[in-house]
Structure 1
Amino acid sequence: MDVGDTELAYTEFGAGSPVVWLHGSGPGATGMSNFGANLAAFEDYRNIVVDLPGWGGSPRPAMDEPLIFHAAERICRALTALGIDRAHLVGNSYGGGVAMRIAMRHPDRVDRLVLMAPGGVLPQDATPWPVGLEHLFAYMAAENPSREAMARFVRLMVYDETLATEALIDERYESSLKAHPELPIPPNFGDLTPDLALIDAPTLLVWGREDQTVPLTWAPTILQGIPNAELRVLPRCRHWVQYERAPEFNHIVREFLQGGAAAASKG
């Protein structure tokens, strides 16, 4: 779809209230690689699965602003292009940061937020980087990244490494070679911390207890900063909650989108 200064690739599935799915920034990430396996559980929603600018099938336009800020405005333009006034937003990692930015700047466009270990909110001293971010940035900085480097990255994303299948590694590796992001390392994602209190939407945070990329120790700042937020922590799970714990993830997200503790507390 045309969003003005660029185009965004997207997949649409199902019918009902709109849900926009926003993927992470890892090498080879696309909307469908992050969320394709979850969609069958949400077929009674209108699912919009987007490739964010510079990932998957979406070209990276020139920009002079943080990644999260830039992407958030293009997603809002996409909603307009699709005739969607208001939607639920589900974001993983970088995509979670994009979802938060939209909720801060365009609260009238957001119904409910689901954020899986979202980016954009760092502790005052985030160095040394968590091992997952170290591998992510190293891969992005490599001129000719290897398949083994991708395999190491994928294995860090899951607690149960049997889920890091050869097919998944191949898919992510091939995708990363087609659309290798040309970004400073570490990228300028933007800092959302000062504006967390602007998020009025009911918000569900979902975190893997053993996350080595955006660790659980980073969660309290977001949980305490968003007025209407709740946190679910899944044990024996790392960064890809929606993939590693898909049945539990699908259940708790559906329950939340249909109304739950956050809505009750707001009343």
Structure 2
Amino acid sequence: MTDPLTAESTSRYVEAAGVRIHLHEAGATGAPLLLCVHGGAPGAYGWGNFGQNVEALAAHFRTVVVDLPGYGRSDKPAIEGGRYGFYARVFAALIAELGAEKAHVLGMATGGAAAIAMAVDHPEVVERLVLVSSAGGLPLFTPSPSEGQQVIRSYYQDGPPTRERMRAYLEMMMHDRSLVTDELVEERFLASVDPEFMAGAPEGRGTPATTEQLWPRLHEISARTLVVWGRDNRVQGYDNALFMLNRIPDVEVHLYGRTGLWVPFERARRFESLVTGFLTDD
């Protein structure tokens, strides 16, 4: 019997572009590389976003789930210049450090913007692209800032972080509030009050890095792209997905009803099947 994949059994570090990146790796060494980049929010980190999907994805791909610089157990460097371009440079170098020429790149929310920056600045390392509830688009009818963006910004600003505030954030992020368990709240709350996170992550109390506008460059994406969204996403409205549909040259869009931002969690099995089919379809 194969031992179950856990956060600790898959954990390791790789230095890329001068940044020590913490990641989780699972799957056959010779399989296509799939790089998964998490979203940015209070207490966000790689396994927290994609841990439930690793086993299914690792059956088909050499699956690598990273902690963004500034998050989780990765280094927390000061970022000069655009945040998304910085992430793209680090992850392009990481692909080479992992011994691969190219990778499929799956990015969610902030991780989606990092993936877009990789696709336009370093197209030679991106095989196919999956954007989930991605930043980097342009809302057509959602107010800006959105309801969810205001909740995220207020987490550290309206008094000290609390478990109650973390629960409210998670319930806003997901359509099915029954999925917000005490264990999930505790896990994300403790991550959100980690002193290094609060000092180094843009959603913490540190000085936010510059975020570039990527929507004018979406037409530069040459990689075949899958855009995945939840209709009930209150952070990044699905109108962003419609904008991407009109701008990215080789693109398809999948929308889930009764689903919020965290599609890989709320629709885990269907999401895994969708992504696997897209990445293996010739």
- TM normalised by structure 2 equals 0.87
Residue 197 of structure 1: aligned partner:
219
Assess if the C-alpha contact under 8 Å between 2:17 and 2:89 holds in 1.
no
More moved, 233-242 vs 211-220: 211-220
Q: Distance in 2 between matches of 1:170 and 1:201?
A: 38
Residue 87 of structure 2: aligned partner:
71
Residue 260 of structure 2: aligned partner:
238
Q: Secondary structure at the match of 1:230?
A: strand
- Note the 1:130-149 alignment, pairs <5 A: 130-141=146-157, 144-149=160-165
User: 1:144-192: per-residue Cα shift (whole Å, max 9, x none)?
Assistant: 311111111111111110001111111111111111224446x632111
User: 1:186-210: per-residue Cα shift (whole Å, max 9, x none)?
Assistant: x632111121111011100000011
Residue 105 of structure 2: aligned partner:
89
Assess if the C-alpha contact under 8 Å between 1:210 and 1:236 holds in 2.
yes
Residue 6 of structure 1: aligned partner:
19
Q: Which amino acid aligns with 1:207?
A: W
Give the drift of 1:217.
Answer: 1.7
- TM normalised by structure 1 equals 0.92
Q: Which amino acid aligns with 2:260?
A: R
* Residue 102, structure 1, aligned to residue 118, structure 2: yes
* Residue 50, structure 1, aligned to residue 66, structure 2: yes
Relative distance call for 1:101 and 1:140 in structure 2 (3 A) is farther
Give the drift of 1:69.
Answer: 1.4
Residue 218 of structure 1: aligned partner:
240
Give the drift of 1:82.
Answer: 1.1
Q: Secondary structure at the match of 2:135?
A: coil
More moved, 250-259 vs 115-124: 115-124
Relative distance call for 1:245 and 1:125 in structure 2 (3 A) is closer
Q: Distance in 2 between matches of 1:190 and 1:126?
A: 20
More moved, 170-179 vs 128-137: 128-137
Q: 1:176 pairs with 186, 192, 206, which one?
A: 192
Gaps of 5+ in 1: none
Q: Secondary structure at the match of 1:8?
A: strand
Gaps of 5+ in 2: 1-13
Identity of aligned residues (%): 33
Q: Which amino acid aligns with 1:23?
A: H
Give the drift of 1:123.
Answer: 3.8
Assess if the C-alpha contact under 8 Å between 2:167 and 2:185 holds in 1.
yes
After TM superposition, which residue ranges in structure 1, 4 or more long, deviate above 6 angstroms? none
Q: Which amino acid aligns with 1:203?
A: T
Q: Secondary structure at the match of 1:19?
A: strand
Residue 251 of structure 1: aligned partner:
273
Q: 1:27 pairs with 31, 38, 42, which one?
A: 42
Assess if the C-alpha contact under 8 Å between 1:14 and 1:47 holds in 2.
yes
More moved, 120-129 vs 162-171: 120-129
Give the drift of 1:126.
Answer: 6.9
Q: Distance in 2 between matches of 1:123 and 1:13?
A: 35
Q: 2:132 pairs with 116, 135, 141, which one?
A: 116
User: 1:54-79: per-residue Cα shift (whole Å, max 9, x none)?
Assistant: 01011221122222111111111111
Q: Secondary structure at the match of 1:28?
A: coil
Q: Which amino acid aligns with 1:176?
A: S
Count how many residue pairs are aligned between Structure 1 and Structure 2. 259
Relative distance call for 1:154 and 1:68 in structure 2 (3 A) is same
